[in-house]
């Protein structure tokens, strides 16, 4: 086993050398044997971002429980370290053993967002691994990917041997069983191995599919070219999250990371159905963890990590059925250990004094709400399901409780948006400021208002009702940002906005096809990496690369799709039907709301999985029932005649 030598002079010359040295508490080191399958979990960003990722911790834990697999971590080196590595001929290496990653058996990239694509190629380049699948003749290393963007990763499909679509923690063991067996077979070919993997639900082998295009550039057809490949790849889903091993022996980083705390995922999915939200569709149906499982996980993490803060994770935390009893029990057990509890962005229509008091018993920081749009009409278009009254009531509750810091998130460029809708964002922010002036805290003096209004630009995402929508041009995006700059005058309100050029490139990648592969290679050769970092992004490089390859950004961004168009991702099945998405797109044009999943089933397709809160599925009552008296009133919901915990 080769080991990269990191000299003291090298580590002293770079920012944050702790990113590269390893040896963290609860990291795993194994003895290398001939039959051991070595897996590199590759996070295409810096150490402090990757170490904040829950998927990394989950997969690392599951794979390292096995005796026949060793999972090591690989991160993108920052600009200074990359330059030094290239100058000194140092290949990209694993954190645990500093092994060059081209010596591993499997490299698994997590796809958290489209702007990471250039970093994936750069990591392969740093390891002297050819980009394209057809250029890699040897069986190992296999290059694979998973994560939310794996559902629509066509721009990098030609670089990947296989893709895991869906809940990776339920699929990864079956994948590794096949790879472990393959390593012992001397005559095993890559094609034979990939064909065997195709027998698993959720496995997509891009090279087993051919894509043809019409003269106008749209997709004509996507057809399997191998008998092992299914016509459509259906996502893999974990039906019972309580049965999946959770990483309670937490990796404790060597340096401060972005989210430097313990995390609990309390449920997966979202019942709300916001029409712009890709994650809310991909993770259907909603599946909750039992409170007792969560409490036990929290106690074990506290003992193994020494962290003094616990965060609750989900797409819509306040929708968890047992949130009140769960937070009470967690606080009762954790406060004596000086461990605080934090909640993410909260739903306006479920925010209350009771919930706020639970949050404020820990560290009191600002509160974050996401109205998304400035007028009721546009909130109905996106199916947000909240009102102006919800926001003002939540703000009054927060200010009365002593909060003065509040963040409001909005989107610009949503379908059907008008200048009136844009100005409505400023109007709403001013009304919240007025509520602050008129609200007297229950305890103490009123603190000076500190409000942040943040706008991102709408990016039409695959597997959403808005996948047919057009994106605003850069000029139109900037006009709308200027309207808000002119209308937000209150000194207590700070306005932040997202770069329009970045949003345009993100839209190209989000709805892109395989013709973008050479564009990505060309951009990388021009030195473009870390596109998610504002100071590193250079849109001119990417759009010039598209021009050289004969591609027009407007084809992917400002063009509205027709009902009949075949999308580049139509051979992937996220469990929600395209017909449902179209019906939601039509309802959006009429600003018509769709009730949340817990209220009524709209036959989106997710009921086929027969789990979670889908009311048309068979009764789903978990065999394990809450034992603690704290959970006797566990907010079980009546759904179609069945109780859902």
The DSSP secondary structure of 84-115, one letter per residue, reads HHHHHTPPPB-TTT--BGGGSSEEEEE-S-GG
Across 225-342, the runs of DSSP E, i.e. the strands, are: 233-234, 262-265, 267-268, 287-288, 309-313, 340-342
Task: Please give the Cα distance from 127 to 93 (Å, whole number).
Answer: 8
Predicted confidence (pLDDT) per residue in 470-483, tens digit: 999 999 999 999 99
Query: 389 or 342, which is more confident?
Result: 389
Contact present, 604 and 284 (Cβ < 8 Å): yes
In the predicted structure, residue 615 carries a pLDDT above the cut 80: no
Cα–Cα distances in angstroms (integers) from residue 53 to residues 42, 57, 95, 158, in the given order:
12, 7, 16, 26
Task: Label residue 342 by pLDDT band (50, 70, 90).
Answer: confident
Least confident window among 54-68, 222-236, 332-346: 332-346
When pLDDT is cut at 50, 70 and 90, the band that residue 621 belongs to is very low
Q: Tally the residues of the chain.
A: 645
At 429-440, the pLDDT tens digits run: 999 999 999 988
pTM assigned to the model: 0.93
Instruction: Provide the percentage of residues in the chain whose pLDDT is more than 70.
Output: 92
What's the average model confidence in pLDDT over 548-554?
98
Over residues 184-204, the pLDDT tens digits come to: 999 999 999 999 999 999 999
Q: Is 126 helix (H, G, I), strand (E, B) or coil?
A: helix
- Mean pLDDT value across residues 626-630: 33
Whether the predicted pLDDT of 636 surpasses 50: no
pLDDT exceeds cutoff 90 at 624: no
Q: How many whole angstroms separate alpha carbon 529 and alpha carbon 115?
A: 9
Whether residue 463 has pLDDT greater than 50: yes
Higher pLDDT, 185 or 614: 185
Structural domains of the chain sorted by starting position, each given as residue range(s) with its CATH number in brackets: 8-234 (3.40.50.2300), 363-498 (3.30.750.200)
Using DSSP's 3-state secondary structure scheme, residue 205 falls into coil
Q: What is the mean pLDDT of residues 483-502?
A: 94
Q: Summarize pLDDT for 10-22 with one digit per residue, the tens.
A: 999 999 999 999 9
**pLDDT of res. 352:** 63
At 343-370, the pLDDT tens digits run 766 666 666 666 666 655 544 556 888 9
Query: pLDDT by residue (tens digit) across 141-160?
Result: 999 999 999 999 999 999 99
Rg of the chain over all Cα atoms, to the nearest angstrom: 25
Does residue 67 register a pLDDT over 70?
yes
Round to whole Å and give the CA distance between 271 and 269: 7
């Amino acid at each position: 086993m080769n080991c990269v030598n990191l000299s003291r002079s090298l580590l002293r010359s770079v920012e944050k050398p702790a990113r590269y040295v390893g040896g963290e508490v609860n990291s795993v080191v194994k003895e290398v044997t001939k039959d051991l399958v070595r897996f590199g979990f590759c996070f295409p960003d810096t150490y402090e971002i990757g170490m904040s990722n829950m998927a990394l911790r989950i997969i690392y834990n599951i794979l390292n429980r096995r005796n026949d697999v060793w999972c090591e971590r690989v991160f993108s080196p920052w600009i200074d370290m990359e330059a030094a590595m290239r100058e000194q001929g140092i290949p990209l290496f694993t954190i645990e053993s500093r092994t060059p990653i081209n010596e591993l058996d499997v490299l698994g990239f997590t796809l958290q967002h489209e702007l990471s694509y250039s970093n994936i190629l750069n990591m392969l380049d740093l390891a002297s691994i050819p980009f394209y699948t057809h250029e890699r003749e040897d069986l190992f290393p296999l290059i694979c990917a998973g994560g939310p963007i794996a559902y629509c990763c066509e721009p990098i499909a030609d670089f990947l041997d296989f893709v895991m679509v869906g809940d990776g923690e339920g699929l990864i063991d079956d994948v590794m069983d096949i790879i472990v067996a393959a390593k012992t077979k001397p005559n095993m070919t890559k094609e034979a191995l990939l064909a065997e993997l195709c027998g698993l639900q959720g496995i997509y082998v891009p090279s087993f599919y051919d894509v043809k295009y019409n003269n106008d550039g749209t997709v004509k057809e996507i057809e399997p070219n191998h008998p092992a490949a299914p016509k459509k790849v259906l996502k893999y889903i974990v039906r019972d999250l309580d049965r999946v091993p959770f990483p309670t022996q937490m990796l404790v980083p060597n340096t401060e990371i972005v989210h430097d705390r313990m995390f609990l995922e309390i449920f997966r999915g979202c019942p709300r159905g916001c029409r712009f939200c890709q994650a809310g569709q991909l993770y259907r149906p909603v599946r909750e963890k039992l409170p007792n499982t969560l409490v036990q996980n929290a106690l074990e993490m506290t003992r193994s990590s020494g962290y003094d803060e616990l965060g609750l994770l989900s797409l819509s935390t306040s929708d968890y059925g047992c949130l009140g009893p769960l937070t009470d029990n967690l606080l009762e057990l954790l406060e004596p250990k000086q461990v605080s509890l934090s909640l993410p962005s909260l739903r306006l229509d479920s925010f209350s004094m009771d919930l706020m008091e639970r949050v404020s018993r820990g560290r009191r920081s600002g509160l974050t709400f996401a109205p998304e749009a400035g007028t009721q009409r546009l909130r109905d278009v996106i199916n947000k399901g909240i009102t102006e009254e919800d926001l003002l009531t939540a703000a009054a509750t927060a200010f009365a409780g002593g909060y003065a810091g509040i963040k409001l998130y909005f989107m610009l460029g949503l379908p059907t948006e008008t200048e009136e809708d844009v100005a409505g964002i400023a109007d709403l922010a001013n009304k919240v400021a007025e509520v602050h002036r008129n609200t007297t805290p229950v305890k103490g003096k009123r603190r000076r208002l500190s409000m942040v209004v943040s706008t991102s630009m709408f990016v039409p995402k695959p597997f959403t009702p808005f996948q047919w929508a057009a994106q605003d041009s850069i000029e139109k995006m900037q006009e709308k940002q200027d309207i808000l700059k002119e209308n937000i005058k209150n000194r207590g309100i700070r306005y932040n906005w997202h770069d329009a050029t970045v949003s345009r490139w993100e839209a190209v990648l989000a709805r892109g096809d395989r013709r973008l592969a050479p564009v990505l290679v060309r951009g990388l050769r021009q030195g473009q990496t870390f596109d998610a970092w504002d100071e590193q992004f250079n849109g001119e490089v990417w759009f010039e690369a598209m021009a050289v390859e004969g591609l027009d950004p407007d084809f992917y961004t400002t063009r509205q799709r027709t009902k009949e168009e075949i999308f580049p991702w139509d051979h992937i099945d996220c469990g929600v039907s395209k017909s449902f998405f179209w019906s939601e797109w039509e309802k959006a044009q009429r600003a018509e709301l769709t009730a949340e999943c817990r209220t009524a089933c709209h036959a989106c397709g997710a009921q086929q999985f027969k789990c979670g809160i889908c009311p048309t599925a068979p009764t789903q009552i978990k065999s394990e029932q809450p034992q603690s008296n704290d959970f006797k009133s566990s907010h079980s919901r009546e759904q179609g005649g069945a109780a859902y915990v």
